[in-house]
Amino acid sequence: MTEPYAAPLDSLTRLRGIRGAMVVAAQDGLVVAESLMGGVKGTALAAMAANLAARVTELSVRAAVGGPRFVHLQAQDGSLLVAPAAEDLLLVAVAGRDVPLGLIRLEMLRLAERLA
Amino acid sequence: MRAIEPWVLAPLRAFVEDSSARLALLMTTSGQVVAQHGFTGALDLMAAAALGTGIIASSGELALQMDWTPFRTVAHQGQRQSHFLGWFDTPHGRWVALVVFGGETKLGLVQVYFDQLVIELLAAAPPEPVQKQEVLAADFERELNASLRALFGR
């Protein structure tokens, strides 16, 4: 794992229900660092999370509410969570069902600030 | 979208739709165009094919010189649009894909769907063709004209 991002990703993946976490380059959707459980395909997830974040940013800017601070996509079996970090980085996490989403959200926002 | 090999069309169409690529070009390593999407002029197409295969060849040679594993993909990122080049082996020899994309998509997405394209092309590819024993000038001209008609409808 890329050294500067090892500690933040470790602290995130230690939370209950987190299946994986990644730092992603927002501009190109490539993985910068990852800590994923088996079965989660990092390259595809990074690319799609970055694309989703770009679309959400476009939407929220058009709605005149500024860029997103946090994106939460709730699916049937879990959630995809994205927190924009430094100018060109995204902190991405995949969580299962029935997880402490509030705690995960707080932790991601805290880590995203540290990455910035 | 046009292709010399009709079985290439469905996978390439899916790739272009999924990746939001602006231009896509499939060619052999010698620069012979197999399929294209988005190119309107024969000259642009042939130049892109020649330059794309040239880049793959030179980056492969660079890897060889440095004793590295050859690069499977090469990406050039620009401000308004970017280029992605990748090669893969088919029963018909090594092919190269050149993809031009803009801000509406991401390099990571193009890479992900390129991997999918390769899987789909390999699944759709007919068995290895029988090699011709001799290449005649008349055959070459006929095949060239047929290729241009297939790619540009002329």
Q: Which single residue is written with the structure tokens 């995809």?
A: A80
Distance CA B33, CA B96 (A): 9
Structure tokens at B125: 């590819």
Smallest CA–CA distance from B18 into chain A, residue: A48
Does the model's pTM come out above 0.80?
no
Q: Does B112 touch chain A (CB under 8 A)?
A: yes
- The CA distance from A51 to A29, in Å, is 7
The larger pLDDT score, comparing residue B62 to residue B41, is at B62
Confidence of residue A115 (pLDDT cuts 50, 70, 90): confident
Question: A interface mutation test: which of B77, B80, B105, B112 has the most A CBs within 10 A?
Answer: B112
Which of the four pLDDT bands, split at 50, 70 and 90, describes residue B130?
low
Residues A23-66: tens digit of each pLDDT: 999 999 999 999 998 878 899 999 999 999 999 999 999 888 98
Q: Note the pLDDT of residue A4.
A: 80
Q: Which residues on chain A place their C-beta less than 8 Å from a C-beta of chain B?
A: 24-25, 27-31, 43-44, 46-48, 50-51, 54
Which of B77, B79, B109, B113 has the highest number of chain A CBs within 10 A, making it the mutation to test binding with A? B109
To which residue do tokens 């879990």 refer? A78
- Residues A115 and A82 sit within 8 Å (Cβ to Cβ): no
Q: Which residue has the tokens 């602290």?
A: A11
pLDDT in tens, B111-125: 999 999 999 999 998
Residue among A25, A30, A51 whose CB faces B105 most closely: A51
The candidate with the shortest Cα–Cα distance to A55, out of B90, B91, B20, B33, is B20
3-state DSSP assignment of residue B5: coil
Which residue in A has a C-alpha nearest to residue B104's C-alpha? A51
CA distance B153 to chain A (A): 35
